[in-house]
Amino acid sequence: MRIPFGTISVTEKSKQLIIETLETNRLSSGKLVREFEKRFAELVGAKEAVAVSSGTDADMLAMAVLYDFGAERGDEIIVPALSFVATGNAVLAAGFTPVFVDVDRKTLNIDPAKIGNAITEKTRAIMPVHLMGKPADMDAINSIAKKYDLYVIEDAAEAHGALYRGKCAGTLGDIGAFSLYVAHIITTVEGGIITTDNEKFAEILRSLRSHGRACKCKSCVLNTSSAYCEKRFGNNGDGDIRFIFERIGFSSKMNEMEAAVGIGNLDIYHEILNKRRQNLYYLLEKIKQFGRHLVSIEKEPHEEIGPHALPIIVQEGSRVTRNHLVRHLEKSGIDTRDLFTSMPTQCRGFEFRGYRQGEFPNAEYLGKNGLHIGVHQDMGREECDYIIQVLNEFLEKSA
């Protein structure tokens, strides 16, 4: 049996929309992107959604909004030490300084008890990551943010479908940033999307994704037809509004073909979500039998985990090693991914920040001893049982 890490669902509706789009020759951001944004916002319960070209760009632009509210280049953003490297990269790309905080080994998420010591007068925001779709402790994080007058920017890249006290990930802070990469529950192949209830934030985001232009309407006449735009030259003689740049921006727009794939995914969202959640929760229950050697995250009463993948962590004291387990899974046809790394101490790109091995023991442990495997919608009970069978066979031989 072969079980790939991820899959992609491209519906017949998406294929038809792509064909129609190609026939119009209007391929850049337009009416399909606007439709996708509207429907995504409605799905998660946010007032606004702004589509961009990647999840990394979603993080980056969400932070860049803060410059309009007093932040300065080099100010600090608090992030968990353990995450996909895009989280740290985005902080730097946005012009800020990442300040890393260790995670809770059981939840994989930033440890709120350690955030306070990382706050300085230059701190502008906390960026929790809902790693593997498990919601971070948002009550504690929001309380800290309120105490120190900080913004909260959720990295919800893997948290499609995650709920925290009945609210969707991406609506639990000031801004939420999702990835729409190919292996995610909602995908546009490549892409990202930012959610917020703050209309001013959304307006700035629309400017930021297009080089910082003053042209930032929610629905652009020029992008949806060849109609005349009343606002284009109505700016006190300063010229074409499309060439007036109010802030430092980026080139981060989503195109129409990507949006077409995303619209099809939204049509079958609940089908995908329910299938993946069934797979994840089944595997989380079954893996408990291996608790002496292997553990995973646990679902808590106040949450629903966004079923991105199944994390597996080798227990301390076990004779099993992550690398041996990975080789066994791969030889058995089960595709694996490492459970990321401690960005400040296990990623060479962040060595310049001056952190030392041992400063983030939980993130470092998970970086050396964690992996994750797929729970996607093309899997069923047979594939899940095969995963448990392969794990059992490995432990019987190795533990």
Q: Is the pLDDT of residue 384 over 60?
A: yes
| Domain encompassing residue 256 | 12-267
pLDDT of residue 238: 72
Q: Are residues 388 and 244 in the same domain?
A: no
Q: Are residues 143 and 195 in the same domain?
A: yes
Contact (CB, 8 A) for 74 and 95: yes
Q: Are residues 290 and 254 in the same domain?
A: no
Contact (CB, 8 A) for 89 and 67: no
Residue 4 lies in a domain: no
Q: Are residues 217 and 340 in the same domain?
A: no
pLDDT in tens, 286-313: 999 999 999 999 999 999 999 999 999 9
Q: What is the average per-residue pLDDT within 87-96?
A: 98
Q: Are residues 332 and 318 in the same domain?
A: yes
pLDDT of residue 242: 75
Residue 31 lies in a domain: yes
**Single-letter code of the amino acid located at 241:** I
Residue 5 lies in a domain: no
Query: How many Å apart are CA 354 and CA 313, to the nearest integer?
Result: 28
Q: Using a cut of 0.75, tell me whether the model's pTM lies above it.
A: yes
Domain end position, chosen among 231, 251, 267 = 267
Residue 297 lies in a domain: yes
Q: Are residues 192 and 305 in the same domain?
A: no
Distances (CA, A) of 308 to 156, 351, 363, 365, 386: 11, 29, 20, 21, 19
Q: Are residues 221 and 368 in the same domain?
A: no
Q: Are residues 260 and 305 in the same domain?
A: no
Residue 6 lies in a domain: no
Q: Are residues 96 and 226 in the same domain?
A: yes
Terminal Cα distance for the chain, rounded? 24
Q: Is the pLDDT of residue 215 over 80?
A: no
Q: Are residues 245 and 364 in the same domain?
A: no
- Which has more confidence, 239 or 371? 371
Domain end position, chosen among 236, 267, 298 = 267
Query: How many Å apart are CA 34 and CA 153, to the nearest integer?
Result: 23
Residue 235 pLDDT class (50, 70, 90 cuts):
low
pLDDT of residue 192: 98
Q: Is the pLDDT of residue 240 over 60?
A: yes
Question: Which CATH number covers residue 354?
Answer: 3.90.1150.10
Residue 374 lies in a domain: yes
Residue 179 lies in a domain: yes
pLDDT in tens, 165-177: 999 999 999 999 9
Q: Which of 14-23, 188-197, 233-242, 335-344 has the lowest mean pLDDT?
A: 233-242
If one counts the domains in the chain, the total is: 2
pLDDT in tens, 334-348: 999 999 999 999 999
Domain end position, chosen among 221, 242, 267 = 267
Q: Are residues 237 and 315 in the same domain?
A: no
Q: Are residues 157 and 71 in the same domain?
A: yes
Q: Is the pLDDT of residue 221 over 70?
A: no
Residue 300 lies in a domain: yes
Mean pLDDT of the chain: 94
